[in-house]
């Protein structure tokens, strides 16, 4: 399941804070901060989608993530590769290396990462 752009923004805040009440979430937003009702709506949708859960503490709710950031973005990138690069990781890597204006140092670091993964296999 996918998050909207505004849900992803909120999810990034939750991942960063690990556990948070509404006031913590609102405080973590940059200016201009969204309305409390907007954040409440996003929290409800994200809970319904299975990305968040909460513990009730008195009349307040402490939200926490059910999905790890790494898992979400891994699925997101794999979907991107499937939908835009004919399910070819090498096409994606070629596009990434050529079109993102990486410096020579960054390309060398990327090569080291790839070489290390090859050795593990």
So where are the chain's domains?
Answer: 5-65, 69-120
Q: For 75-94, write each residue's pLDDT tens digit.
A: 888 888 888 888 888 888 88
Q: Is the dihedral of CA 38, 40, 42, 48 positive or negative?
A: negative
Q: For residue 6, what are its two tokens?
A: 């505004």
Selected residue with higher pLDDT from 57 and 107? 57
Q: How far apart are the first and last CA of the chain?
A: 30
Which CATH code fits 5-65? Answer: 1.10.10.10
| Arithmetic mean of pLDDT, 93-105 | 84
Percent of the chain with pLDDT over 90: 58
Per-residue three-class SS string for 42-89: HHHHHHHCCCEEEEEECCEEEEEECCCHHHHHHHHHHHHHHHHCCCCH
Q: Give pLDDT, residue 120.
A: 87
Selected residue with higher pLDDT from 77 and 16? 16
Q: Give pLDDT, residue 14.
A: 97
As a whole number, the mean pLDDT across the chain is 91
Q: For 49-74, write each residue's pLDDT tens digit.
A: 999 999 999 999 999 999 999 999 88
């Amino acid at each position: 399941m996918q998050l909207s752009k505004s849900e992803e923004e909120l999810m990034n805040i939750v991942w960063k804070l690990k556990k948070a009440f509404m006031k913590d979430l609102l405080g973590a937003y940059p200016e201009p901060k969204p309305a409390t009702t907007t954040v409440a709506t996003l929290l409800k949708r994200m809970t319904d989608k299975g990305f968040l859960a909460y513990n009730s503490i008195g009349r307040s709710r402490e939200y926490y993530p059910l999905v790890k950031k790494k898992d979400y973005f891994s699925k997101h990138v794999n979907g991107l590769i499937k939908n835009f690069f004919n399910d070819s990781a090498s096409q994606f890597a070629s596009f990434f290396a050529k079109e993102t204006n990486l410096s020579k140092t960054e390309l060398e670091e990327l090569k080291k990462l790839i070489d290390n993964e090859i050795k593990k296999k």
